[in-house]
Amino acid sequence: MAKNDLFLRACRREPVPYTPVWFMRQAGRYQPEYRAIREKYSLLEICRQPELAATVTLLPVRQLGVDAAILFSDIMIPLSGVGVEFEIRESVGPVVHRPIRTLAQVEALRPLEPEESLPYVLEAIRILRRELEVPLIGFAGAPFTLASYLVEGRPSRSYTNTKAMMYRAPEVWQALMDRLTEMVVTYARAQVRAGAEAIQIFDSWVGALAPEDYRTYVLPYMQRLFAGLRDLGVPVIHFGVGTGALLELMREAGGDVIGVDWRVPLDQAWQRIGYDRAVQGNLDPALLLAPPEVLAERTRAILRQAGGRPGHIFNLGHGVLPETPPDALRRVVEIVHTATAAG
Amino acid sequence: MAKNDLFLRACRREPVPYTPVWFMRQAGRYQPEYRAIREKYSLLEICRQPELAATVTLLPVRQLGVDAAILFSDIMIPLSGVGVEFEIRESVGPVVHRPIRTLAQVEALRPLEPEESLPYVLEAIRILRRELEVPLIGFAGAPFTLASYLVEGRPSRSYTNTKAMMYRAPEVWQALMDRLTEMVVTYARAQVRAGAEAIQIFDSWVGALAPEDYRTYVLPYMQRLFAGLRDLGVPVIHFGVGTGALLELMREAGGDVIGVDWRVPLDQAWQRIGYDRAVQGNLDPALLLAPPEVLAERTRAILRQAGGRPGHIFNLGHGVLPETPPDALRRVVEIVHTATAAG
C-alpha cells in the first residue's frame, strides 16, 4: 500500500482528496492499552525506551485511522540533555528541581548533543519510520513554554516568576531564550535527520502574554527558531492555546501551519492568519464527551468554516482529555474523511 | 469633603477630570496588614464578620488612593445561602464537598434569602457606606463561573465535567444555570439595597468556552441576569478572563462596563465592544513586578489606547498578585491620575 501523505500535502496547502486528521495526545490516558503500559512504566520511562515509545506512538494510528502519527514523548525531554533535573509528577506535571532564576544557572546549561544525550528519541523515530504508513510528526516545546517550566519550576496559572524575569532581568531572560532557541533548533533538526517528516512546535502557554510582550520577549526567538528549520524542507506547525489575540504575531513568527484552539472560530482565525498558511484545528476536546449528534454537528461546523480550502488539517484545539471515549475519536475521523471527500 | 464619584461617572461614560482607577483584589495577600489578619482568621471568617470584612475592604482605599472600594468577599459566599457546602482550601481554592451532577442535586438548592442567610454581607456594606468617601462596588460570580466550581468541585483547567454536563445533560445544565441566575440577581439586588453603588459580575472562567457554546449555554442566562438588575439604576460591570473571542457576545449579554484582560489591546477591545459601553482594564498584574519605568510606560500605553474617551476605568486585567509590592500599585494610581488630568 502506498503511504498516506495527505497530512504532508495539506501542510503544503496542496489539494487533497479529503481533509487529513490527527489528534494532539492521540496516545494517552484515554486508551486502556496505554493505561496498562503506564501501570508498569512511568511516562519518562516510556519516552526513554525506543521500542516502548514506538509502540505507544503506534497504538492510536490504526485504532483511530488518523492521517499522521506524533512521536510519543514529552516537551521536557530535551531539557534532560542540557543539564536540567526534573520529574513528571502524577496529577501535577513537570517539576524542575532547581528553578532557573539567575544568569549563572542559564550559563550552566550545556549545548544539546541529541545523538549523545537523547539517542532513544532518535531510535524511536527510526523504528517508527519503518512501521508507519502515515507521516511521522516530531515535536518540541517552544522557548517561552519551556522557559515557563524552568523559571516557575512547575505548571503555573499566572506565570508570575517568568514574567518578572522578562521585565526585571531581561539579560537573564534573553540568555535563557537564546539557549532554549538553540536547543529546540538542534533537537528538531536531529529529529528530522532521524526521519521525522514534520515538526510541531508547542508554544502551549504563550497565550498568557499580552501581544506587546509577545512581540518584545518571544517573537525574535521564534523567528530565529523557524529560520533555523527552514532548509530542512519539512512542514513546521506552530501551535499555542488561548492565542486569540496573538494569531497575527504567530504568523509573523513563522510556521507553515498555525495551530489554533477552539476559542476562535476557524474561519476568523484563518482569515487573520492569512490563506498563504495552512491551519490546524480546532475542536474543543470536551466535545468528544458530547452525544454523537452534537459531536458530529460541531465537527461539520469546523469543516464548513474551513470552506474546502486546501491547507486545513483537522485536529482538536488541545490534547485529548483522559475521559474521552475512543469511539468518539474514531467517529470524528470518519466524519472528517467522509464529509470532505463528498464535498 | 465631597465624595469622589469619578468611578460612577466613568461607568456612565460622563466626562471626568481624570481617569478613575481601582484594582481587582486590591485587598489581599500582597498587603502585610491583610496577611496579619489572615494569620488569625480564615478567608471565610473574614467574609462572615461584617466589621472585619469592612476593615479589610477599607485597607487599600486610603493606602493606594483608588477611586472605588470593592466589598471584601468571595464569589462562593452566596452558595452557602442556597445549601452548598464548600471550603476555601489553602493554595487550592474553593472545594465543593458534593459536586453537583444531577437534576435532583440542582432541585435541592434553596432559593436565596440574603437577609436570612447572608446578613453579614449586607451589614458589611452598610458599615462601609458610612465610612467610605469613594463608591462601593458589590459583586457576584456569574452563573457559568459558579457552575464550574459546583460541577468540577474545585478549580479546573479543562472544565471537562462542566462542559460534559452542558453537552450531555442540557436539562440539568439549564436547571442549574436557571437557579444560579436567579440567585445572582437576588444577591446583587440585596447588595444594592444595602448600599452597594455598582455591581461587578465576575465570569472569570467563561473564556474556556468556544463562542458558539457561550451563545448556546451562557448568553441567555447572562441576558436575564443583566435585565434583572436594570431597574436598580446602578452601573453593572461584566468581567471575564481570556475572553478575547467573546467580547461581542459579552456586550450582547449586557453590562454598562465590560472588563477586559491584558490579552487584547484596550483600543481593539473597546472598538469591538462599541463606544456606547464603558470599559475597564487592562494592565497585566505581572507588570506590577516590573521596574518603575517599564510599569509607567505600560500604564501610559493603556491610557493612550483609551484615547481620552469618556468611559474608561483603569484596572488590572485580573486580580493583584500576592507578590506585588504595594508601592507599585500606588505608582500606577498616581500615573493614571496625573497623566489623564494633564491630557
Top residue of B154, B263, B298 to mutate, by most chain A CBs within 10 Å, is B263
Annotation says A38 is catalytic: yes
Distance CA A137, CA A69 (A): 6
Using 50, 70 and 90 to split pLDDT, how confident is the model at B316?
very high
Give me the half-sphere count of Cα atoms (radius 13 Å) on the Cβ side of residue A100. Answer: 30
Taking CA–CA distances from B323, the nearest residue in chain A reads A160
A170: distance to nearest CA of chain B, Å? 10
Q: Which CATH architecture has domain B6-342?
A: Alpha-Beta Barrel (3.20)
Please report residues of A whose CB lies closer than 8 A to that of B321.
Answer: 158, 160
The whole-number average pLDDT for the span A263-282 is 98
Are B242 and A263 a contacting pair at CB < 8 A?
Answer: yes
Determine the Cα angle at B63 with ends B58 and B69, to 5°: 40
Instruction: Calculate how close chain B gets to A5, using CA atoms only, in Å.
Output: 31
Q: Do B163 and A289 touch (CB under 8 A)?
A: yes
Express as a percent the part of chain A with pLDDT over 70.
99
B134 close to B66: Cβ distance less than 8 angstroms:
yes
pTM listed for this prediction: 0.96
Where in chain A are the domains? 31-276
Residue B3: predicted pLDDT: 87
pLDDT band at B343 (very low <50, low <70, confident <90, very high): low
| Distance in Å, alpha carbon of B209 to nearest chain A alpha carbon | 6
Is residue A25 part of the annotated active site? The answer reads yes
Predicted local confidence at residue B91, as pLDDT: 86
* Catalytic residue status for B149: yes
Task: Say yes or no for a CB contact (<8 Å) between A158 and B284.
Answer: no
pLDDT band at B302 (very low <50, low <70, confident <90, very high): very high
Amino acid at A42: S
At residue B342, the pLDDT reads: 67
**Which pLDDT belongs to residue B295?**
98
ipTM above 0.85, yes or no: yes
A272 in reach of chain B (CB within 8 A):
no
- B182-192: average pLDDT: 98
A172-227 pLDDT, tens digit per residue, is: 999 999 999 999 999 999 999 999 999 999 999 999 999 999 999 999 999 999 99
H helices then E strands: how many in chain B?
17, 9
Shortest CA distance from A284: residue in chain B: B210
Known catalytic residue at A149: yes
Q: Does residue B29 carry a catalytic annotation?
A: yes
pLDDT at B127 over 70: yes
Strand partners, B199: B138, B236
Q: How far apart are CA B59 and CA B62, in angstroms?
A: 7
Q: What is the mean pLDDT of chain A?
A: 97
- Chain B residue with CA closest to A266: the answer is B210
The correct answer on CATH 3.20.20.210 for the domain covering A31-276 is yes
pLDDT recorded at residue B15: 96
CB within 8 Å: A263 and B284: no
Q: How confident is the model at residue A343 (pLDDT cuts 50, 70, 90)?
A: low
B210 contacts chain A (CB < 8 A): yes
The closest of A5, A78, A55, A77 to A234, measured between CA atoms, is A5
DSSP letter at B130 equals H
DSSP A112: P
Q: Residue B17 in contact with residue B319, Cβ under 8 Å?
A: no
Nearest-CB residue to B286 (from A159, A212, A245):
A159
The three-state secondary structure class of B81 is coil
Say if residue A24's pLDDT is above 60: yes
How far is Cα A135 from Cα B253, in angstroms, rounded to an integer? Answer: 45
